[in-house]
Amino acid sequence: MKGVGTEKLLFFILEEWKLILLLTIIFALYSYYTSTFDFFEKKGIKYMKPTIFLGNLGPRLFPKKSYYENQLDIYNYFKGSPCGGMFEGTIPILYIFNPDLLKAITIRDFDYFVDRNSLNSNKPRFLSRSLLNLKGSEWKGVRSILTPSFSSSRLKNMLPLLESCSQQMIEYLNKYDNKDVEMKDAMGYYTLETIGVCAFGIKCDALSDENAHFAKVVKKFMDISLPKRIYILLVLMLMPKMIRYLNISFINPEATGELVKMLKATKAERRASNVKRNDFLQLVLDAADEERHENGKREIHLDDDTIDAQSLLFLIAGYETSSTLLSFAIYVMATKPELQSKLRNHVIEVIKGKDLDYDVLSQLSYLEAFLLETLRMYTPISRVDRVCTKDYTLPMTSIRIKAGDLIALPLCGVHMDPDIYPNPHEFRPERFMGEEKNQRPSHLFLAFGAGPRNCIGSRFAMFSVKLAMVSLLKNFKFTTGPKTEIPVKFNKKRLMLSPENGLWVHVEKL
């Protein structure tokens, strides 16, 4: 009987080998793509139940909400928990929610979380060498070299350049007196002009010619076709280990390549002419020359690709975040006329009879609070990630994080937490003034990050935006118009905060 049973089994295998092979493949794929799904359960961490292949990325593949709103949903789901788990495909991501843990990771125990998470793909070196992507000692070396470029004295010297850009902005808006204007684009032209002039000595002509080539190229850098988005997400979900062999990036490669060509040409012209300018590019070139002179044969941090990477980062990151801040600040003024009047009176009172300079701008406390409150409610970047670089135990818990594990910091969730910012949907600049500001830990305002890996260009951004706001308040009154959305709807496809239908306001000359 035993022999007969064996023969039947062999006969079945021979007859049904295709079915058996198919079932084996399905079982193997299921096992592989769910192999990490017990990651948080083993550690005793609350987590969102994942779906095979997608993990928890379903809401981003078929978005009914913006990324900003999606991150708020995640924060509120885990509300009350010190941390929580999510899966991006098969990759586990540990979100940190507890304020003390946020401080530990960003400041106190920063050495365990020096690195940002990035797509470690086979992308061009002028992308992989930016401060966002550099890790460990290389990041520290480049950051320390670049930091003096954003000192108070450097910013003071840039004031004439910024004032020129501000005047161009006023002339641009004068053409739209008593008309409705889409402010995200309009302020994008201003920030592009300021960065072009202050960073590279490039006159972009964005405010004098909306079709200027440089402006059109920069505006396309985040435009990625739907097929390419799907391709990137499929690789992230199904073949994350293949990323290192592929040229993958979330920014438009054609626009980026053209921008780098322009920046290289500017750099070559600067070196050939020996003309010194007071801009970011000159400071970086001088720092690179000094480093080569001092280091001799030792490691050089600022090679040409690294210089190009920082220039590109400054341009792209500064353009998007500063234009978002300015346009939403104007939107708030238009929708809250009483705050606009209070802000205008404050500016006029402080600067009356004074030459507008860096020190006077620093005295505009209510303007600064207004801008910080705008960043709190309309945080351009909803989440930042960190990579654990050496094994670490989360304070106040027994949770062990291993080197290589990914950590997420929910910026917009912290900013809209009623336990940290009472009545978070109310726009109230006083949160960032006096005792209320002093009593709240500084690491709980995360628009520029926190700790050593915060935004290196934050001072330049605030300086240029303050100057723009002073000019706007002195020259224009902003009100709502027929196209003004209240509340504003956010774009569902973009990772960075962006209005779905623009930020339209009515402009009237004073």
The answer to whether residues 88 and 57 touch, using CB atoms and an 8 Å cutoff, is yes
DSSP code per residue over 479-493: E--TT--SSPPBPSS
pLDDT of residue 248: 65
What pLDDT, on the 0 to 100 scale, is given for residue 491? 93
- Count Cβ atoms within 10 A of the Cβ of residue 306 and give its class: 0-12 exposed, 13-18 middle, 19 or more buried: buried
- For the record, the structure tokens of 457 come out as 């260009």
Cis peptide before 99 (omega within 30 of 0): no
The residue whose two tokens read 């404050």 is 346
Rounded average pLDDT over 484-510:
93
Number of independent structural domains in the chain: 1
Does residue 288 carry a pLDDT above 70?
yes
Q: Give me the residue label for tokens 């012209």.
A: 269
**In-domain check, residue 472:** yes
Query: What is the token pair recorded at 38?
Result: 């017990």
84 located within any domain: yes
17 within some domain: no
- Which residue do the tokens 């956010």 mark? 490
What pLDDT does 506 receive?
Answer: 97
Q: Over pLDDT 90: what percentage of the chain? A: 51
Residue 314 has pLDDT above 90, yes or no: no
Residues 69 and 493: their CA atoms lie apart, in Å, by: 12
**Which one of 10-24, 188-202, 290-304, 370-384 scores highest in mean pLDDT?**
370-384
Residue 27 inside a domain? The answer is: no
Given a cut of 70, whether residue 211 has pLDDT beyond it is no
pLDDT for 286 equals 80
| Tens digit of each residue's pLDDT (9 = 90 or more) over 16-50 | 667 777 788 888 888 888 899 999 999 999 999 99
pLDDT digits (tens, 9 = 90+) for 334-376: 999 999 999 999 999 999 888 888 899 999 999 999 999 999 9
pLDDT of residue 295: 56
User: Is 151 within a domain?
Assistant: yes
SS3 336: coil
Task: Check: CB of residue 461 under 8 Å from CB of residue 318.
Answer: yes
Q: Residue 324 above 80 pLDDT? A: yes
Q: Is 476 within the bounds of a domain?
A: yes
So what's the pLDDT on residue 294? Answer: 63
Burial of 245 (C-beta count, 10 Å sphere; 0-12/13-18/19+): exposed
- Of these ranges, 24-28, 62-66, 265-269, 488-492, the one predicted with the greatest mean pLDDT is 488-492
CB-based contact 376:431 (threshold 8 Å): yes
Q: What is the mean pLDDT of residues 1-5?
A: 56
Higher pLDDT, 461 or 33: 461
- Model confidence at 446, pLDDT cuts 50, 70, 90, reads very high
Report, as an integer, the average pLDDT of 172-186. Answer: 95
Position with higher pLDDT, 19 vs 449: 449
**What's the mean pLDDT in 415-423?**
97
pLDDT of residue 447 exceeding 80, the answer is yes
Residue 4 located in a structural domain = no
What was the pLDDT predicted at 401? 96
Indicate whether 297 pLDDT > 60: no
Residue 307: band (very low, low, confident or very high) from pLDDT cuts 50, 70, 90: confident
pLDDT at 177 over 90: yes
pLDDT band at 167 (very low <50, low <70, confident <90, very high): very high
Q: What is the mean pLDDT of the chain?
A: 86
pLDDT-based confidence at residue 412 (cuts at 50, 70, 90): very high
Q: How many CA atoms lie within 13 A of 325 on its CB side?
A: 29
User: Does residue 20 form part of some domain?
Assistant: no
Which of 33-37, 43-47, 238-242, 501-505 is least confident?
238-242
What value does the mean pLDDT take over residues 81-91? Answer: 94
Point out the least confidently predicted range of 167-181, 265-279, 351-365: 265-279
CA distance 475 to 113: 46
pLDDT, greater one: 258 or 65 = 65
**Is the pLDDT assigned to residue 251 strictly greater than 90?**
no
Range of the domain at 214: 32-509
Contact 84, 46 (CB under 8 A): yes
Amino acid 13: pLDDT: 66
CATH classification at residue 118: 1.10.630.10
97-107: pLDDT as tens digits: 999 999 999 99
pLDDT-derived band at 298, boundaries 50, 70, 90: low
**Mean per-residue pLDDT, 255-281:** 78
Residue 2 reports pLDDT greater than 60: no
427 vs 274, higher pLDDT: 427
pLDDT of residue 121: 63
> If pLDDT is split at 50, 70 and 90, which confidence band does 300 have?
low
CA 101 to CA 184: how far, in whole Å? 35
Give the span between the Cα atoms of 224 and 495, in whole angstroms.
Answer: 12
Confidence of residue 445 (pLDDT cuts 50, 70, 90): very high
- Concatenated DSSP letters of 228-286: HHHHHHHHHHH-GGGGGGS---SS-HHHHHHHHHHHHHHHHHHHHHT---SSHHHHHHH
d(CA 87, CA 50): 6
- Which is higher by pLDDT, 280 or 137? 137
CA pair distance 83, 100, nearest whole angstrom: 11
Half-sphere exposure of 14 (CA within 13 A, CB side): 6
Of the pLDDT bands very low, low, confident and very high (cuts 50, 70, 90), residue 495 is confident
Is 455 assigned a ligand-binding role in the annotation? Answer: yes
pLDDT at 256: 76
User: End-to-end CA distance of the chain, in Å?
Assistant: 102
Assess contact for 113 and 290: CB atoms under 8 A.
no
Q: CA angle at residue 188 from 279 to 270, to 5 degrees?
A: 25
Q: Are 252 and 223 in contact (CB under 8 A)?
A: yes
